[in-house]
Amino acid sequence: MSKWTTDDIPDLAGRRVIVTGANSGLGLRTSLELARHRATVVLACRSAERGARALATVRAAVPDADVVLGSLDLADLASVRAFAESHPEPLDVLVNNAGVMALPRRTTADGFEAQFGTNHLGHFALTGLLLPALLQRPGARVVTVTSMMHWLGSADFAAFDDEHGYHKWPAYCRSKLANLVFAKELDRRAPFVSVASHPGYASTNLQQAAPRMTGHRTRAALFGLLNTMVGQSDAAGAWPSLYAATAPGVAGGQCYGPRGPGQSRGAPRRVPTLPRAADPELGRRLWELSEERTGVSYDALPT
């Protein structure tokens, strides 16, 4: 696995993939490589303008790409339902990639804290609503993108309701731990492979989005400098997700990330994660909370 590159991705002709947050960064790089290897790719994007630019980028790089644009706002459960209803076709791979990081206290359209609501609850709902499409494909996979920061996440997931004790970085870490716990619990329940991946420290616009949003130009510039000095490229950051989505022998319930120092960079491999993330009781509690908050149940799963 240490020598794995995107050249090792098999021919994906006939396979259909949805990538959330495909308008830039890791999502765009993931979509580009999947299209280059002949998958049918749905770019699930919140912004129609940025999505159209991403679509043009993929088509310019892969002129014969079978790629379409879909409208998806993970911070709005009505949008999640509409997207799922408009994409009922059999689905081979779902890459739950989109995310926000270290935002000031904000809420989604449904009143959830924005980081937990977008990063976890939106993807929980989307995956559940796409179950009929996934169950039509033998060997289907769901790849949910977490972060190295999950190690610092609190397992008190209901704490996202606390309006008075909000701190943006702990909230982000909690949402990324939820991504990992969800991936493991889904693998316990589903007849297909569910795995997690993380990009290490990848240089994308994610790090600078929150400072720009709050007008902290100096902080945004510092993150940009740090990205240049420390971060690996967004193309390399997409490798773990691509490996998890396409490589033979991927083990369900595991996490794939960079093999370099501190899981920060390098070729993908299976990586250790916070041991508590594998606790079935924690997975059950998160699952029940998620069903309650989103109103999405996984009744389509075989019993």
Cα of 122 vs its chain's centroid, Å = 10
> 262 near 185, Cβ under 8 Å?
no
**Number of C-alpha atoms within 13 angstroms, CB side, residue 21?**
22
Beta carbons within 8 Å of 290's beta carbon, 6+ residues apart: 120, 121, 124, 125, 182, 296
Catalytic, out of 166, 172, 201, 256: 172
Give the orientation angle of helix 168-189 with respect to helix 280-294, to 10 degrees: 100
How far, in Å, CA of 29 to CA of 179, rounded?
Answer: 20
- Tell me if residue 298 is catalytic: no
Q: Where are the beta strands (DSSP E) in the chain?
A: 16-20, 40-45, 66-71, 93-96, 141-145, 193-197, 255-258, 268-270
CB burial string 124-157: b at 16+ within 10 A, e below: bbbbbbbbebbbebeebbbbbbbbbbbeebebeb
Q: What is the DSSP string of 254-292?
A: -EEEE-SGGG-SSSEEE----GGGG-HHHHHHHHHHHHH
* Pairing outcome for strands 16-20 and 255-258: unpaired
> Token match 């909000």: residue?
166
Eight-class DSSP state of 96: E
What one-letter code names the amino acid at 2?
S
Q: What is the DSSP string of 63-83?
A: TT-EEEEEE--TT-HHHHHHH
Give me the active site residues, please.
Answer: 172
